[in-house]
Structure 1
Amino acid sequence: MGKKRKIDSECRKLKDQWNIQYFVIESSNKALCLIYNESIAVLKENNIKRHYKTEHSQNYSKYTGSLQTEKFEAMMRGLKSQQSSLTKVAKRGKPFTDGEMIKECIIAVAEEMGPEKVNLLKTVSMWLEG
C-alpha cells in the first residue's frame, strides 16, 4: 500500500490572478470565496475554477476587465468591514444579544451591500424586551 500524501505539505499558494478571476482570496491556507464567504477545501486551480463555474459564473461572468476588478475590490471592502465589526464586538466583550451593537454591524454591512437602505435601518429601534 502506497504512502498517503498530505495536501498541507505541498505548500500550495493562491496565485494573484485567481483573486479577481474567481473572486477568491487565501485565508488560513485555503481559498475563501468572497461571494459566498466560504472556504474551498483544496487550494488548487481546478477546485477553485469548478466552484466558480458551478456556483457563480452565471451571475458573475458578465464582469470583465475593470468592472471585475472593481467588483472584487468592493467584496474585499465588505469583508474587511465585516471583520472590523466583529473585532469591535470582541473588544467590547459583549454578547451578540446586545441590540445596539447588532444594529451597528447591520448598518456597516448595509453600507457596503445596499447603501440606499442605510437610513431606514438607522431608524429601527433595537430595544430588546426580556
Structure 2
Amino acid sequence: MAANRKRKVDNENRQFNDDLTVQYCFVQQQTNVICMLCHSTAAVAKVSNIKRHYETKYRDFNNLIGDKRTARIGSLRHSLNCQQNIFSKQSAEFSAACEVSYEISLMISKSGRPFPDGDFVKQCMITASEKLCPEAVRKLQKVALKRMTVQRRISHLSADVTRQLADKASNFVYFSLDADETTDIIPTAQLLVFVRGVSSSFDITEELIGMGFMKGQTTASALFEETMRLCSSFHLISRNW
C-alpha cells in the first residue's frame, strides 16, 4: 500500500485571478498576495481566505461601485506600488552604503592606519560632496565608518579570506610550507608560516597561513609545534604530513 502523503498547498500551483482585485481589493506582488487596503499578506492564495478577510474587515467598501470603485482601486494599486518602490530604493542604498563601508575598511587595513581614521575619511567625503555633488551627501551620511564598525568589517573580511584559503587548501594535491621566525621591539618571537600549494587543475596558491607568537625559547620542537598548530585550521597536517 502506498504511503499516505500529506497534501501541500505550495505544490498545487495556485494561480492568482485578477478578478479578485476588483472584488476583494487583493493584488499579487511577486509571490505574495497583498490586501491593498491594509497591506496584509494572505497566507494562502485561496479565494475563501481572501473573501473572508475582505468581508470581515472591509464590507463597507462594497458601497463603492462602478467608476468610483475602479478609480479607488487604481489609486490603491498606485499607492502600493510607490511604497514597494521606496522600500526597494532604500534597500539598494543600504546595500551600496554597506559595500562602500567594507571597501574603505579594507583600504584602512591595507594601509595599516588606525581604525578611528574611518570617521575622518567619512568627514572628508561629506565635505567634498557638499561642494561637488550636494545630492550625494545624504547617501554618504549612511556609510558606517565608526571605529568599532571598521574593526568589525576588517574582522569579517579576514574571516572570509581565511575561509577562501581553507577551500583552496582542501583541493591541494601537493603543498610546501615556508616558516620565518623573527623578533621586533617586543621580546616575544613571531613565527610566520606561508603555504604554496597546487591543485589537480594546476592552480597554484601562495598565501600566508598565519602568525604565531612564541614565548620563551624558540627551539626546533617549539617551532614545529607552532607550525603544526597554524596548519591545523586548514587541515593540512592530516594529509601528506
> When the two structures are superposed, what TM-score results if normalisation uses the length of structure 1?
0.64
- Structure-2 residue corresponding to 1:121: none
Higher strand share: 2
Q: Which secondary structure state, in structure 1, belongs to the residue aligned with residue 63 of structure 2?
A: coil
Counterpart of 1:23 (choices 25, 31, 39) is: 25
Q: Share of identical aligned residues, percent?
A: 27
1:45 and 2:43 are equivalent in the alignment: no
Question: Post-superposition shift, 1:55?
Answer: 1.0
Question: Post-superposition shift, 1:32?
Answer: 0.9
Show structure 1 runs of 4+ deviating over 4 A: none
1:54 and 2:56 are equivalent in the alignment: yes
Q: Which secondary structure state, in structure 2, belongs to the residue aligned with residue 38 of structure 1?
A: coil
| Alignment deviations for residues 29-63 of structure 1 (CA, whole Å, 9 cap, x no partner) | 442111110111111111111110001112x1111
Matched letter for residue 66 of structure 1? D
Matched letter for residue 7 of structure 2? R
Higher helix share: 1
In the alignment, the residues of structure 1 paired with residue 57 and residue 4 of structure 2 have an alpha-carbon distance, to the nearest angstrom, of: 35
Give the number of aligned pairs.
Answer: 96
Question: Post-superposition shift, 1:90?
Answer: 2.4
Structure number with bigger Rg:
2
- Structure-2 residue corresponding to 1:79: 80
In the alignment, the residues of structure 2 paired with residue 88 and residue 78 of structure 1 have an alpha-carbon distance, to the nearest angstrom, of: 15
Q: CA RMSD in A?
A: 2.2
Mapped contact 1:30–1:42 kept (Cα < 8 A): no
> When the two structures are superposed, what TM-score results if normalisation uses the length of structure 2?
0.36
Unaligned runs of 5+ in 1: 102-130
Matched letter for residue 41 of structure 1? A
In the alignment, the residues of structure 2 paired with residue 28 and residue 87 of structure 1 have an alpha-carbon distance, to the nearest angstrom, of: 13
In the alignment, the residues of structure 1 paired with residue 8 and residue 88 of structure 2 have an alpha-carbon distance, to the nearest angstrom, of: 33
Q: Which secondary structure state, in structure 2, belongs to the residue aligned with residue 9 of structure 1?
A: helix
Question: Post-superposition shift, 1:28?
Answer: 4.4
| Alignment deviations for residues 52-89 of structure 1 (CA, whole Å, 9 cap, x no partner) | 0001112x111112211111110111011112222232
